[in-house]
Chain A
Amino acid sequence: MSTSRHTIHFTINGKNCEVQAPPMKRLLDVLREDLHLTGTKEGCGEGECGSCSVRMNGELVNSCLVPVLQAEGADVQTVEGLASNGKLHPIQQAFLDCGGAQCGICTPGMLMAAAQLIERNPHPSMAEIREGLAGNLCRCTGFMRIFESVLAAATHAAESVPKKVHHAR
């Protein structure tokens, strides 16, 4: 038995797109194969490692567990959509500065989880950072540099919000 392809519309990193795919095709595979957005990685295929994390309608999701039909009409953001105007997103810059990425394979998913965390909670505690990233397994770093990156980005986010702070400069 086989099913026909459906036409599915959604926005990807702010742009409208249309794909023809079987409705059960995983969003992950649609991103990588149909849209050639290979930044999103597959590490386990069972929602354990978080390498395929993307944002869908403002929520962090594992794209390996989303049948593409459920993305109909959704707003999807991948790692390719983090930087803007050729400038790294603050979380990307912090990972670069603090050594948050080593082999790089968990990095796209980790960045999405970190960006989600900071957006929801601009001043996360260490416990909140640990919880926010617990679904993203990294085998290289032991997480310390990643935590530091998130703290640095959170500080940066706080600084970029206009506040009544005296600048010493």
Chain B
Amino acid sequence: MRGNAEAHELIAPGSLPAVLELLASAPGEWTPIAGGTELMVAFAAGRLGARKLVNLWGIPDLRFIETTADSIVIGACATFLDLRANSGLATELPLITRSASWIGSVANQSRATLGGNLVNGSPAADSSPALLVYDAEIEMVSQRGRRRIPYAEFHTAYKRNAMAADELLYAVHLPRRFAHHRQYLRKVGTRRAMAISKVAMAATALIQDDLVTEIRLAAASLAPFPARLYKTEAALLGQPATIKTIQAAQSALLDEVQPIDDIRSTAEYRRRVAANLIEEFLLEFSAEGAPR
């Protein structure tokens, strides 16, 4: 234990307006903390830079999952166990449910929040690929008001995002129009549980008359932040799902991604596995899809 509790301030304004007021009063000075599954790790390791923290855990305005006619809206402080327990997500947006089940363990899922996962902005964030291929939008809130941006524009660089210093991530909006898409998600870690992904990939696609008419691909751990793979998508859009198309997509992917060597894996491995995952997904509906 290398952190010193007395060197950090933690306050609990107790309501969303009070938190927003605090953030507005001193933009950038306060770091929100919800389930603590990232910040408390940094704290124990003596690496927590934030000296002033504001508590979001237990604010009911932020912990909800709402289903409207055309979307499912997830509050920033909904935990991954909340996500797993939601039947609407499980039936219509199952990749969210699955990615939630891969986060750490039960004791992490009971505390880790969707908003925290996104704001933390790890390149390996477990929930990101699924959100990206579901066209998620991020709603942010501040005393100045609310705004929504596509999640694909949320991360701007390694551990950087589009939020202003006085803003809080309020909710994630998921359109309810993927029930008939082909969906794919795979996380590759060294072990089955409690793993940090070395590569993760998600996809949603529509196939009509053997042609790819709609495609979204997204990956984690292949770039400084989780991102859509637009160039790879371009190689697939409007194409028949043939081996030739798969190979074109793989080569576009290898051009597009920029994985690194680190203590968890190698760039070469990540590239190869990413290419294999694309193939695995596409072979599912390729006419020539004889498994190897």
Contact = CB atoms under 8 A, between A and B. Distances in A.
B6 interface: yes
A11 B106 CA distance: 22
B44 A136 contact: no
A18 interface: no
B5 interface: yes
A131 interface: yes
B81 interface: yes
Given A59-B110, A116-B106, A65 B1 contact: no
B107 A135 contact: yes
Interface in A56-104: 59-62, 64-67, 69-70, 72
Contact of B44 (A26, A50, A59, A135): A26
Given A62-B111, A69-B55, A70-B55, A47 B104 contact: yes
B194 A48 contact: yes
B100 to A, nearest CB: 13
A26 to B, nearest CB: 7
B252 to A, nearest CB: 36
Contacts of A22: 5-6, 8
B107 A113 contact: yes
B178 interface: no
Interface stretch (B33-41, B139-147, B240-248): B33-41
A70 B9 CA distance: 13
Interface in A28-73: 29, 42, 45-48, 50, 53, 59-62, 64-67, 69-70, 72
Contact of B40 (A21, A23, A66, A136): A66
Contacts of B193: 130-131, 134-135
B11 interface: yes
Contacts of B111: 59, 61-62, 65-66
B55 A26 contact: no
B7 A47 contact: no
B43 interface: yes
A57 B57 CA distance: 13
A44 to B, nearest CB: 9
Contacts of A116: 106
Contacts of B5: 3, 21-26, 29, 67
B58 interface: yes
5 contacts: A3-B7, A46-B44, A60-B106, A64-B40, A70-B57
Nearest first, the 7 closest Cβ-Cβ pairs linking A and B are A135-B105, A134-B193, A45-B44, A22-B5, A59-B110, A23-B10, A25-B5
Interface of B: 1, 3, 5-12, 33, 35-37, 40-41, 43-45, 51, 53, 55, 57-58, 81, 101, 104-108, 110-111, 192-194
Interface of A: 1-3, 21-26, 29, 42, 45-48, 50, 53, 59-62, 64-67, 69-70, 72, 113, 116-117, 130-132, 134-137
Given A67-B55, A72-B12, 17 more contacts: A1-B7, A2-B6, A3-B8, A22-B5, A23-B12, A24-B3, A26-B1, A29-B5, A46-B41, A47-B108, A53-B107, A60-B107, A62-B111, A66-B111, A69-B12, A135-B193, A137-B194
